[in-house]
Amino acid sequence: MRQFARQMLRNPSGLIGLIIVVMAILVAVVGPLIFPNSPWRMVQRPFLPPFTLSAVPLGTDALGRDVFAGIIHGARVSLLVGLVSTLAALAVGVPLGAIAGYFGGRVDDALMRFTEFFQTIPSFALAIVLVAILQPSIYSIVAAIAIVSWPPVARLVRGEVLSLRTREYVQAAIVTGQTNRWIIWHEILPNALSPVIVLASLMIATAILLESSLSFLGLGDPNLISWGYMVGAGRTVIRQAWWITVFPGLAILLSVLGLNLVGEGLNDALNPRLARQGR
């Protein structure tokens, strides 16, 4: 574990990513406590450009709301949606993939056809339809994102399990009379974990983008401010007031970039042999 941490820290891009992500999490956790005022409140005249008043450093939007406060409060929603929907996708994808890969045969066929059914539908279109049917709310958004993002997890885990289940130590476990559940849980999954962790870090980034896209289209939770909603709300006035869209857009860019860098850093740290060959 210590060696893993050292590997991670030695990689400069992974370290930068980690710093960005830690900062984003800090903002999401602590930010709303420091800026307790609701981001929906009108605080100044509309279309106030940034860097003119220190009270509203990033200017105001079309209704005179504080863009900075919006970004701080939006961080919580964006990160939460990213994290929770990824966890939900893992909770569906990992067991499905493990069962398909371990038992093979008909079980595998059935589960993989089911997975392909979800994969063949364009994921963003499916997410829009799901949110539209379920009514936009934070729960329906998380559910929709999880539903469209579990199939790659299932396929990845299945592939890993397929190769791991023929290993001699798995056969040794069968021979000593272990149950299938014990073998999957203790012998196979711990060894399949590293690529899943890497994928998960990238999925959080994708989920943040998906949530932003949904909010941009007006399918966000109407009671919660999010970065995507801010970009969407400001798009009609982008030529007069660029700051309304640019700053939340930058927030999305930075956090997604940070998560991607962390994902790559994790990949290098968890597969040290591959990383060393690459250089």
Partner 1 sequence: MPAPPAVSIKDLRIALPPGGERPFAVDNVSFDLNPGEIVCVVGESGSGKSMCAHALMGLLPDSVTTESGTISFEGKNLLSLDENGWRDLRGRRIAMVFQEPMTALNPLLRIGDQMMEVFEAHGLLTSRERRRKAIELAREVGLPEPERIVRAYPHQLSGGQRQRAMIAMALALEPAILVADEPTTALDVTTQAQILKLIRDLQRNRNMAVMFITHDFGVVADIADRVVVLRHGQVVEQGRSEQVLGHPEHPYTKALLAAVPSMDPPPRAPLTGRSKAVDVIGIDKTYVTSNGWFQRERRVRAAYDVSFSILQGETVGLVGESGSGKSSVARLVMQLLEADRGTIRLGDIDLTALHGQALRQQRRRIQMIFQDPFASLNPRRKVGQIISDGPIAHGADAKQARARAGELLGMVGLDAGAMERYPHEFSGGQRQRIGIARALALDPQVIVADEAVSALDVSVQAQVLKLLEDLKARLGLSMLFITHDLRVAAQICDRIAVMQRGIIVELKATAALFAAPEHQYTRELLAAVPGQHRPISRSA
Question: What are the residues binding partner 1 (CB under 8 A)?
Answer: 167-169, 171-179, 182, 186-187, 190-191
Please state the closest distance from residue 157 (CB atom) to partner 1, in A.
16
Nearer to partner 1 (CB atom), residue 10 or residue 186 = 186
Please state the closest distance from residue 176 (CB atom) to partner 1, in A.
3
Q: Is 36 helix (H, G, I), strand (E, B) or coil?
A: coil
Phi, psi (deg, nearest 5) at residue 66: -75, 115
Rounded distance between C-alpha atoms, residue 207 and residue 81, angstroms:
7
Please state the closest distance from residue 103 (CB atom) to partner 1, in A.
14
Please state the closest distance from residue 195 (CB atom) to partner 1, in A.
14
Please state the closest distance from residue 172 (CB atom) to partner 1, in A.
6
Nearer to partner 1 (CB atom), residue 117 or residue 182 = 182
Nearer to partner 1 (CB atom), residue 171 or residue 236 = 171
Q: What is the CA radius of gyration of the chain?
A: 22
Nearer to partner 1 (CB atom), residue 52 or residue 179 = 179
Nearer to partner 1 (CB atom), residue 41 or residue 167 = 167
Nearer to partner 1 (CB atom), residue 181 or residue 239 = 181
Nearer to partner 1 (CB atom), residue 51 or residue 182 = 182
Please state the closest distance from residue 164 (CB atom) to partner 1, in A.
10
Interacting residues of 92 by C-beta distance below 8 A, sequence separation 6+: 146, 150, 153, 154
Rounded distance between C-alpha atoms, residue 167 and residue 161, angstroms:
10
Please state the closest distance from residue 64 (CB atom) to partner 1, in A.
57
Nearer to partner 1 (CB atom), residue 161 or residue 259 = 161
- Amino acid identity at 210: L
Phi, psi (deg, nearest 5) at residue 60: -125, 165
Q: Is 60 helix (H, G, I), strand (E, B) or coil?
A: strand
CA 65 to chain centre: 28
Please state the closest distance from residue 173 (CB atom) to partner 1, in A.
7
- Amino acid identity at 174: I
Rounded distance between C-alpha atoms, residue 29 and residue 80, angstroms:
10
> How would you class 135 by CB atoms within 10 Å of its CB: exposed for 0-12, middle for 13-18, buried for 19 or more?
exposed
Rounded distance between C-alpha atoms, residue 219 and residue 168, angstroms:
50
The number of beta carbons lying within 10 Å of the beta carbon of residue 267 is 20
∠ CA 205-21-213, rounded to 5°: 30
